[in-house]
Structure 1
Amino acid sequence: MPPLSVLDLSFVNAGASAGQALQDSLALARHVDGLGYTRYWLAEHHALPSVASPAPEIMVGQIAAATRHIRVGSGGIMLPNHAPLMVAERFKMLEALFPGRIDLGLGRAPGTDGITAQALRRREVPRGGDDFLDRLQELLLWDTGEFPEGHPFRAVTVMPAGVPLPPVFLLGSSDYSANLSGRLGMGFAFAQHFAGIDAAGPMLDYRRLFRPSRWAGRPHAILAVAAICAETDVEAERLAMSARLSTLRRERGDYAPLPSLAEAEAYPYSEMERARIDRGAARLHVGGPETLRAKLSALAQATQADEIMIVSAIHDQAARRRSYELLAEAWGLPRAEG
Structure 2
Amino acid sequence: MIPLSILDLSPVPAGGSAAQSLRDSIDLARHADTLGFHRYWLAEHHNLPNIASSAPDIMIGQIAAATRHMRIGSGGVMLPNHAPLTVAERFKVLEALFPGRIDLGLGRAPGTDHITSVALRRRQDVRDEDDFLDRFQELLLLENNGYPKDHPFSSVHAMPNDVALPPIFLLGSSNYSAQLAAQIGAGFAFAHHFAGYDAAAAMRQYREKFQPSQHLQQPLAILATAAVVADTAEEAERLASTIDLNFVRRAKGVYAPLESPEVALAYDYTPIDRERIAKNRERLAVGDPAMVKSRLESLAAETQADEIMITTMVYDHTARKRSYALLAKAFSLTPPHAMPQPQTA
Kept in 2: contact 1:41–1:76 (CA 8 A): yes
Tell me how far apart the structure 1 counterparts of residues 217 and 195 of structure 2 sit (CA, whole Å): 27
Q: Where do residues 227-306 of structure 1 align in structure 2 (5 Å cutoff)? A: 227-306=227-306
Tell me how far apart the structure 1 counterparts of residues 232 and 305 of structure 2 sit (CA, whole Å): 26
Q: Offset at 1:234?
A: 1.3
Residue in 1 aligned with 2:73?
A: 73
SS across alignment from 2:170: strand
2:143 aligned with 1:143: yes
Residue in 1 aligned with 2:169?
A: 169
Kept in 2: contact 1:78–1:111 (CA 8 A): yes
Per-residue Cα deviation, 1:259-296 (whole angstroms, up to 9, x for no partner): 11111122122222112211221121101100000000
Residue in 2 aligned with 1:197?
A: 197
Tell me how far apart the structure 2 counterparts of residues 137 and 335 of structure 1 sit (CA, whole Å): 36
2:9 aligned with 1:9: yes
Residue in 2 aligned with 1:186?
A: 186
Residue in 2 aligned with 1:26?
A: 26
Q: Offset at 1:316?
A: 1.1
Structure 2 residue runs of 5 or longer lacking an equivalent are 339-345
* Greater displacement, 231-240 / 169-178: 231-240
Q: Percent identity?
A: 61
Tell me how far apart the structure 1 counterparts of residues 171 and 72 of structure 2 sit (CA, whole Å): 16
Q: Offset at 1:335?
A: 3.0
2:92 aligned with 1:92: yes
* Greater displacement, 328-337 / 202-211: 328-337
Q: Which runs of 4+ in 1 moved over 6 A?
A: none
* Greater displacement, 185-194 / 152-161: 152-161
TM-score by length of 1: 0.98
Tell me how far apart the structure 1 counterparts of residues 187 and 236 of structure 2 sit (CA, whole Å): 32
SS across alignment from 2:75: strand
Residue in 2 aligned with 1:313?
A: 313
Q: Offset at 1:124?
A: 4.5
Residue in 2 aligned with 1:120?
A: 120
RMSD: 1.1
**How many aligned positions are there?**
337
Structure 1 residue runs of 5 or longer lacking an equivalent are none
Instruction: Give the counterpart letter for 2:106 in structure 1.
Output: L
Tell me how far apart the structure 2 counterparts of residues 300 and 158 of structure 1 sit (CA, whole Å): 37
Residue in 1 aligned with 2:342?
A: none
Tell me how far apart the structure 2 counterparts of residues 40 and 168 of structure 1 sit (CA, whole Å): 15
SS across alignment from 1:86: helix
Kept in 2: contact 1:35–1:336 (CA 8 A): no
Tell me how far apart the structure 2 counterparts of residues 281 and 253 of structure 1 sit (CA, whole Å): 19
Instruction: Give the counterpart letter for 1:63 in structure 2.
Output: I
Instruction: Give the counterpart letter for 2:200 in structure 1.
Output: A
Q: Offset at 1:55?
A: 0.7
Kept in 2: contact 1:93–1:160 (CA 8 A): yes
Per-residue Cα deviation, 1:81-137 (whole angstroms, up to 9, x for no partner): 0000000000000000000000000001010000001111114543x6111111101
Per-residue Cα deviation, 1:142-192 (whole angstroms, up to 9, x for no partner): 111121121111112321121000000000000000011001110000000
Kept in 1: contact 2:69–2:335 (CA 8 A): no
TM-score by length of 2: 0.96
Q: Offset at 1:306?
A: 0.4
